[in-house]
Amino acid sequence: MLELRPCCEHCGKNLPPNSTSARICTYECTFCKDCVDEFFTNVCPNCGGGFVPRPIRPANQLSKYPAKKEALHRPVDLAKYQTLYLKNKNIKPENR
């Protein structure tokens, strides 16, 4: 089941289950749209995969299947990230 992590890993912005700004990779590394647009484009800093918008879980499902509570806030070292970014930015995720 999708974890629905509570905030952006990079900037810490809150991303509640109904947020339309949440972006996730295949491992559910979770970032906000602003960070993805500004820094990461379509290259996840943790795994090098692409991003998609996180699906909204309907509110009536959350009591049974709640969002994850523990925040994972670990800002990306943007200088180190450049190597991974430059290697992948021009390759579509499906071809990486």
Query: Interface with Zn ion by CB under 5 A: which residues?
Result: 8, 10-11, 13, 25, 27, 29, 32, 35, 44, 46-47
Q: What is the DSSP string of 65-90?
A: SPPP-S-------HHHHHHHHHHHTT
Shortest approach of Zn ion to residue 42 CB, angstroms? Answer: 11
- 24: β partners: 30, 52
Cβ 8 to Zn ion shortest distance, Å:
3
In this complex, which beta carbon is closest to Zn ion, that of residue 11 or of residue 56?
Answer: 11
- The Cα 55–Cα 87 span in angstroms is 28
Q: Which two tokens stand for residue 47?
A: 């795994």
Which CB, 59 or 79, lies closer to Zn ion?
79
In angstroms, what is the minimal distance from the CB of 35 to Zn ion?
3
Q: Residue 11 in 3-state DSSP?
A: coil
**Nearer of residues 66 and 73 to Zn ion, judged by Cβ:** 73
